[in-house]
């Protein structure tokens, strides 16, 4: 389980390498990591260099944390994320979100290639999810399982 102490240790490692406090966290899914190319003064830290951080294995996920400024806001961008089908636990999958919050992020955007059945949706449309059904949770698999750590 990803504990507060593990997330905090990752934050200490990252703070030694960056000089900003990110306000916005952005998690990019498959093929969407090129958003990081628009960041001013980027500091790129590969996941594989971060102790205790999962590694991206999906093709198209670069596996980098990118810190810098985007549209005048300090950001922390994940180029690729982690999935249960890669063998990661729910706690490992959600670890980056906990790290983002501890780093100072107050806003989170999760960007993904998403499908929809509505006939009015076209390729490239932006969708805002209002709700979802967590199929893994129906089987008892949830990152919310266990004690809540208020920190």
Domain ranges of the chain: 4-138
Chain segment 56-94, per-residue pLDDT in tens:
877 766 899 999 999 999 999 999 888 888 888 888 888
25 phi, psi to nearest 5 deg? -105, 135
15 phi, psi to nearest 5 deg? -60, -30
This prediction has a pTM of: 0.84
Cα–Cα distance list, 120 to 43, 100, 116, 128 (Å): 39, 34, 9, 14
Choice between 146 and 111, residue whose per-residue pLDDT is larger: 111
Architecture per CATH, domain 4-138, reads as 3-Layer(aba) Sandwich (3.40)
Question: What pLDDT was estimated at residue 89?
Answer: 85
For the record, the structure tokens of 25 come out as 């966290």
Chain segment 104-144, per-residue pLDDT in tens:
999 999 887 777 778 888 877 877 777 777 777 777 777 66
Buried b (16+ CB within 10 A) or exposed e, 101-139: ebbbbeeeeebeeeeeeeeeeeeeeeeeeeeeeeeeeee
């Amino acid at each position: 389980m990803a504990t507060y102490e593990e997330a905090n240790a990752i934050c200490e490692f990252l703070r030694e390498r960056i000089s900003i406090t990110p306000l916005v966290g952005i998690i990019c899914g498959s093929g969407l990591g090129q958003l990081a190319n628009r960041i001013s003064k980027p500091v790129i830290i590969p996941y594989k260099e971060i102790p205790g951080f999962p590694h991206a294995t999906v093709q198209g996920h670069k596996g980098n944390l990118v810190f810098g400024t985007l549209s005048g806001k300090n950001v922390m961008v994940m180029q690729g994320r982690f999935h249960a089908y890669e063998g990661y636990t729910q706690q490992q999958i959600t670890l980056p979100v906990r790290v983002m919050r501890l780093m100072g992020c107050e806003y989170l955007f999760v960007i993904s290639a998403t499908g929809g059945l509505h006939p009015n949706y076209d390729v490239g449309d932006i969708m805002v999810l209002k709700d979802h059904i967590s199929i893994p949770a129906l089987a008892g698999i949830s990152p919310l399982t266990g004690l809540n750590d208020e920190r």
